A and B are shown apart, each in its own frame.
Chain A
């Protein structure tokens, strides 16, 4: 069965702290794609990153970084030096063999000033 688990329902940190959002996935496919999306209070989901199963190289984009580990089926997302504007709900998703997105339940991130 295809499944994405985001065990952290809500995380609250003080501005400038680093924070890691966990994502664990299950799939029987050997080729698959993982995504992270951000949903700010306005409601629209914004694409952050895509990673395919053959590329385990970690990626850094400014204050954002992603750690993909096939051995533990995890695709964790770290925000360094968090800012209030990072407050949002973050979703991890897996594309299955039918090209459908399997969504995690989301993690609500609250950054306090």
Chain B
């Protein structure tokens, strides 16, 4: 079935460690997105990519990094520079046009221990 797969579902990180969240899609979508969601909050855009080998910072990119080497994959690295990384992370993809909806993965819940 077509869709977006995020892994892992739960992730624990020690302070000072970098961790990478995986996001894979088989929808042949050009655009991919990473959002952060804190408890009781809306979605905040971290990074987005509209084409392979290109990506743009969103509203809260500090302390995060991404790559887009393949159309299907858009991994997010939470670096040690991110001071408050505990959150729910959602990956999404879309055809990249204004009138097309985004499809979301099931999310990764990251906890710093």
Contact = CB atoms under 8 A, between A and B. Distances in A.
Contact of B99 (A33, A45, A103): A33
A105 B44 CA distance: 10
Interface stretch (B19-27, B60-68, B71-79, B90-98): B90-98
Query: Which of A44, A95, A106 gathers the greatest number of chain B CB atoms within 10 Å?
Result: A44
Interface string B83-113: 0000010101000111101111111010000
Given A44-B104, A44-B106, A45-B104, A106 B42 contact: yes
Interface residues of B, number: 24
Contacts of A32: 98
Interface residues of A, number: 24
Given A91-B42, A104-B42, A99 B107 contact: no
A53 B109 CA distance: 35
B37 to A, nearest CB: 8
B43 A103 contact: yes
A33 B101 CA distance: 10
B43 A100 contact: no
Interface of B: 31, 33, 40-43, 45, 48, 50, 88, 90, 92, 96-99, 101-107, 109
